[in-house]
Amino acid sequence: MKLIFASNNKNKIAEIQNLLAGVYEVLPMEAIGCTVDIPETADTIEGNALLKAQYIWENYQIPCFADDSGLEVEHLNGAPGVHSARYGGLPKSDKKNTQKLLAALEGQENRNANFKTVIALIIGGETHLFEGKVFGKITEKPSGNQGFGYDPIFIPNGYTKTFAEFQMAEKSKISHRGLAVQQLVTFLKR
């Protein structure tokens, strides 16, 4: 079966295709001629995932899913959260986002944070949500060149390296996105 992944983010697409390899053929939006940058105007991570999946379903009637992720920092009362991708301002920039976050945490002892992903799947007209969360700490400086987003400054609990120091296959087993996709795969296989 083919599933459309409602994303234009090449890094996310590669990571999801890797996670679902051998289970489903995951196609990017451009495979159905959709090049729209679907607005993420919801106030929650769940809401943004739903907006993107609903856009594809309503306009193309094709089984699809979308995700939204955010980094929630305890000291910042859950920020940047739903605004993670644009935290450093527009145009979006991973570097600006991480620099702003590190500046906001400068001198802070409480560096606890969690990454959260919500996947919204629409198949047969029914909507299903899957959530993955991983807890960890924000480093004082970036480290590693794998991954994307806040990966260079996030160390998951129980590890001594940032997500950007993990290989994709290793990260996928424990990441927020990986955990949400595992739930998606279990659901799709039933």
Catalytic residues: 68
- CB-count exposure of residue 113 (10 Å: 0-12, 13-18, 19+): buried
User: Rounded to whole angstroms, how far apart are CA atoms 170 and 185?
Assistant: 18
Q: What are phi and psi of 154, to 5 degrees?
A: -120, 120
Q: Are 55 and 48 in contact (CB under 8 A)?
A: no
User: Rounded to whole angstroms, how far apart are CA atoms 143 and 137?
Assistant: 13
Q: Are 3 and 13 in contact (CB under 8 A)?
A: no
Q: What letters, b where the CB count within 10 A reaches 16 and e where it falls short, cover 70-107?
A: bbbbeebeebbbbebbebbeeeeebeebbeebbeebee
**Residue whose entry in the numeric block shows the structure tokens 């480093």:** 139
Choose among 92, 82, 91: nearest CA to 149.
92
